[in-house]
Amino acid sequence: MCMKRKYLFYLLLCVLACTACHSSGKSGKEETLYSGEIRIAVDESFKPIMEEELQVYQALTPEAVIHPIYCSEVEAVSLLLKDSVRLAVTHRRLTEEELASFHARKFFPESVRLATSGVALITHRNNPDSVITVEQFRRIMTGRMTQWKELNPQSALGAIQVVFDNPNSGLLHYVMDSICQETALSPSLKAQKTNEEVIDYVASTPASLGVIGANWVGNQADTTRLSFHQKVRVMAVCPTQETGTTHGFKPYQAYLALRKYPFTTDVFLLVNDPKGALPTGLMTFLTGDRGQRILLKSGLVPATQPVRIVNVKDDF
């Protein structure tokens, strides 16, 4: 009888150990709002901001380990749909079709607005053309305007070489859907892999026109966020056909907040976390006071924090 009790005792210990291992997940860390180990998918255009956000978050929450996957927006949403990640950072909300896919599996994800950003247009520092209209940019992207002299008759730069980050990026989808309104894009557009590569390409190619995220063009040394990246020139965009200096707007934080900059976009957190664990904890941090202040400092417009409006006189 004694041996039988010992056997049952050891058997019970084994069952409890197996249960504990299972509940802790593959990492061996029990996942709660503030602990565990997860992967998240981030549109590559938000890489600088998310690196700073995660650095602060993990310093405040040492029991949480976050592995970011920086990829295209298409891949980020795909990973969320496959349940490979439970949080993604993108330029858009989930579509009705994507929501239906989740609902069919009894999941009810959220699309939470995190910040306001924009699509910035950059040129070589020696390019004298500094202002462009929305219609001109639309014509360039659809191949109906191909030469710099069509923007400026005195330009000697030749063909406009448009370059963007990735064929599946949220930036390009925004250009296609909101600016070009689903008109076919020019086949001459060039794609790099990252926003950083676009900046390097434009900095070394006088006839280029780069399309990147607004958070990439800020001057990191300027705490006021009133100057831009020193390697390239940021174009002002006019919402109308007039290209005078009183009509063009650059992606300053205030113009993004007031949505005066024509190519203003939103940033969303897509969260599918039915258990309300670590992905929800990270979302709470990003949308809370500390996370939003980091966004404010980065030059974007946080969804819940006030923005200081500064009157800027800029020579184009």
pLDDT in tens, 8-37: 445 444 444 444 444 334 445 578 999 999
Q: What is the pLDDT of residue 17?
A: 45
Q: One fold for both 30-116+265-302 and 117-264?
A: yes
Element (H, E) at 37: strand 36-43
Give me the count of residues in the chain.
Answer: 316
* pLDDT at residue 255 tops 50: yes
Cα separation, 206 vs 303, whole angstroms: 37
* pLDDT at residue 218 tops 80: no
The pLDDT tens digits of the residues spanning 40-98 come to: 999 998 998 999 999 999 999 999 999 999 999 999 999 999 999 999 999 999 999 99
3-state secondary structure of 211: strand
Secondary structure of 229-240 in the HEC alphabet? CCCCEECEEECC
pLDDT confidence band for 307 (50 / 70 / 90): low
- What residues form DSSP beta bridges with 234? 122
Name the most confidently modeled range: 15-24, 229-238, 302-311: 229-238
The pLDDT tens digits of the residues spanning 263-285 come to: 999 999 999 999 999 999 999 99
**Which parts of 126-182 fold into alpha helices (H)?**
134-141, 170-174
Q: Which of 200, 182, 180, 181 is nearest to 190 (CA)?
A: 200
Tell me what the mean pLDDT of segment 167-175 comes to. Answer: 86
Cα separation, 288 vs 114, whole angstroms: 10
> What CATH number was assigned to the domain covering residues 30-116+265-302?
3.40.190.10
Domain spans, the chain: 30-116+265-302, 117-264
Query: What global pTM score does this model have?
Result: 0.80
What's the chain's Rg over C-alpha atoms? 24
Tell me what the mean pLDDT of segment 130-153 comes to. Answer: 92
Tell me what the mean pLDDT of segment 249-253 comes to. Answer: 90
Q: What is the pLDDT of residue 270?
A: 97
Burial group, residue 105, by CB count within 10 angstroms (0-12, 13-18, 19+): exposed
C-alpha dist (Å) from residue 221 to 111, 131, 215, 224, 229: 33, 25, 14, 9, 9
3-state secondary structure of 103: helix
Q: What is the pLDDT of residue 29?
A: 56
* pLDDT at residue 199 tops 90: yes
* Assigned token pair, 77: 């949403």
Q: Which of 102, 68, 112, 106 is nearest to 82 (CA)?
A: 102
Q: Look at the domain 117-264 and name its fold.
A: D-Maltodextrin-Binding Protein; domain 2 (3.40.190)
Quote the distance between the C-alpha of residue 2 and its chain's center. Answer: 64
